[in-house]
């Protein structure tokens, strides 16, 4: 039976640490602030934005959520970002993705001042990660690493396989695993014989966006399996891993819900807190 990488428990412990650090900072007169911009009314995005607001409340952050209509123009969005860039109460700005199709996501992200880019999606922060310099690390990849390390999963010298090559999960998590001295393979939809790769993985990260995509025969016995997927099936949230089948084979496994998603929010709060700590220096 696999050891559960329990995002809920790890998040509760991390939030307590963040709460104490927030209190210490507030005692010095600095309140961390996060502003989330939501354009349109995508139902999943609304849930994420609400959860982020709640986490801010729990830690006592200043929080400002700006909801813009679907038909918002690029200029209007960028004017708002400029305003938040200049707002001294706001340490972190997050543009909830995906944006409606008519908007230029990359340009919007570039508009955020890199030190306020708490999602770590700005090219400067992505470039810093890629070149081994200090910067803001994207929340989901950072949360995955945190979870693996806290769960005692050995990384150095191990074979890590990541399924998915997106800018927000696959690529940055591959770099983080490389930094931990894993030998990393990055797989995607054109990978020939995916299972031949995944079966060699000591650490397997699934960030595909397909329900129960990773089956037991794709997993090396004893591997650490991280499920990043959030898929809605018949009104239920399920991951990219067939949990019931894989759990008896794996050495460690993260559930969905209650896994990576919980860590992602914690890391967002930590990135915001760290931006505020830097401001206070």
* DSSP-derived secondary structure for 29-88: T---EEEEEEES--HHHHHHHHHHHHHHHHHT-EEEEEEE-TT--HHHHHHHHHHHHH-T
Q: Which DSSP category does 2 fall into?
A: P
> Which residue is it, tokens 């004017």?
79
Supply 111's token pair. Answer: 């508009």
Using CB positions, name the residue nearest to ligand NDP: 166
Q: Which of the residues 6, 96, 158, 171 is marked catalytic?
A: 96
Which is closer to ligand NDP, CB of 53 or CB of 60? 53
Q: Find the part of the chain contacting ligand NDP (CB under 6 A) among 33-41, 58-66, 121-129, 228-236.
A: 228-236
Find the shortest distance in angstroms from Cβ 281 to ligand NDP.
Answer: 30
The closest of 96, 178, 177 to 144, measured between CA atoms, is 177
188 binds ligand NDP (CB under 6 A): yes
- How many residues would you count in the chain? 281
Find the shortest distance in angstroms from Cβ 88 to ligand NDP.
Answer: 29
149 binds ligand NDP (CB under 6 A): no
Q: Cα 107 to the chain's mean position, in Å?
A: 20
Which is closer to ligand NDP, CB of 135 or CB of 229? 229
Specify whether 14 is catalytic.
no
Q: Which of the residues 52, 142, 171, 262 is marked catalytic?
A: 52
One character per residue 99-138, x = contact with ligand NDP (rule: CB under 6 A): ----------------------------------------
The closest of 66, 7, 78, 79 to 37, measured between CA atoms, is 66
Residues that bind ligand NDP (CB under 6 A): 140, 163-166, 168-170, 187-191, 194, 207-210, 228-231, 260-261, 264
């Amino acid at each position: 039976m696999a050891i559960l990488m329990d995002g809920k428990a790890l998040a509760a412990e991390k939030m307590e640490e963040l709460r104490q650090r927030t209190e210490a900072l507030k005692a010095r007169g600095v309140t961390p602030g996060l502003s989330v911009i939501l354009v349109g009314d995508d139902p999943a995005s609304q849930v994420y934005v609400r959860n982020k607001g709640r986490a801010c409340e729990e830690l006592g952050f200043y929080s400002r959520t700006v909801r813009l209509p679907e038909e918002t123009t690029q200029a209007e969005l960028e004017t708002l970002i400029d305003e938040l860039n200049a707002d001294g109460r706001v340490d972190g700005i997050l543009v909830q993705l995906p944006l409606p199709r008519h908007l230029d996501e990359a340009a919007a992200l570039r508009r955020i001042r890199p030190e306020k880019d708490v999602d770590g999606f700005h090219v400067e922060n992505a470039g810093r990660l890629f070149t081994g310099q200090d910067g803001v690390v994207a929340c989901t990849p950072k949360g995955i690493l945190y979870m693996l390390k806290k769960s005692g999963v050995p990384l150095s010298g191990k074979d890590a396989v990541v399924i998915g090559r997106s800018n927000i999960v696959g690529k940055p998590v591959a770099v983080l695993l490389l930094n931990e001295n894993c030998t990393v393979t990055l797989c995607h939809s054109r990978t020939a014989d995916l299972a031949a790769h995944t079966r060699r993985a000591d650490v397997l990260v699934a960030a595909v966006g397909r329900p129960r995509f990773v089956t037991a025969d794709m997993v090396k016995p004893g591997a650490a399996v991280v499920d990043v997927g959030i898929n809605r099936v018949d009104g239920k949230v399920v991951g990219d891993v067939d949990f019931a089948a894989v759990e008896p084979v794996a050495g460690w496994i993260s559930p969905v819900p209650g896994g990576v998603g919980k860590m992602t929010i914690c890391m967002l709060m930590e990135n915001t807190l760290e931006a505020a700590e830097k401001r206070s220096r």
